Amino acid sequence: MKTSFRKKGERRGVRKALLLAMVSIFLCLSFVSADAAYKIILNNGAEITVERYETAGNEIKAYYDGGIISINRKDIRSIKNINAPATPVESPATDKSKKSQPSTAPVQQKADMSELQGLEQRLTDLDGSIKKIEEKKITLQNEKAAMASRYNSLESEARRRAAVDGKEPQTHWRDFLVPEDYLWVSQNESRIAEIDERIKGIDRELQPLLYDKEDLQKRISELK
């Protein structure tokens, strides 16, 4: 009799342990799916579900499994918002047996609208910053073009005079400039190179902003 009671107790203990293990697994799976908000689809077809992500220049920083991973934007095909709750498909018999529950769709739509408005405001501010930088670039480009035009005209005429005088135009053209033109060339030759470097610096400054703009436009398009 003692052996029989012991075996029954052991079986109840095993069933209890199995039940606790199944509940733990269910809770873990529920936690992962609840946190996930975006699906990142890579060019090679791979998919990564993350809680959220941020844009940093030409990279996407995704918050995944308690950590952060960086992905080059060139490797990403698309990013989808999967935060909207799925609607379960139930049979008519099941529907009748359950009490009607308020829909969560209006709440989700309100959240999406709030996010959309925030993204559109960020895009407007970003466009303003990009416009100011591009205007600075255009001003420098116009200044460089005017200086380069005068420089090339003076050089061409001085080379012609050098050739007429029997001198090597490539090395002696500056000798055939009038004093004021010689001074202008000497002062502005380095200025043209300096403007060119400033334009390249502006291009480097614009690149991450344009990446951010592209990303915002994509996210706005997904919410509309």
* Of 72-81, 108-117, 178-187, minimum mean pLDDT range: 108-117
pLDDT attached to residue 45: 80
pLDDT attached to residue 51: 80
User: Confidence band (pLDDT; 50, 70, 90) for 115?
Assistant: confident
- Cα gap 218→135, rounded to integer Å: 25
Determine the average pLDDT of the residues in 63-69.
Answer: 77
Q: Which residue has the higher pLDDT, 73 or 207?
A: 207
pLDDT attached to residue 179: 94
* Of 51-65, 109-123, 146-160, minimum mean pLDDT range: 51-65
Query: What sign does the dihedral 154-160-162-168 (CA atoms) show?
Result: positive
* Of 9-13, 42-46, 208-212, minimum mean pLDDT range: 9-13
User: Confidence band (pLDDT; 50, 70, 90) for 186?
Assistant: very high
Measured at the CA of 86, the angle between CA 85 and CA 87, to 5 degrees, comes to 120
Query: Where are the alpha helices (H) located in the chain, listed in sequence order?
Result: 2-35, 92-97, 105-164, 169-172, 179-223
Is 36-83 assigned to CATH 2.30.30.100? Answer: yes
Q: What is the pTM of this model?
A: 0.49
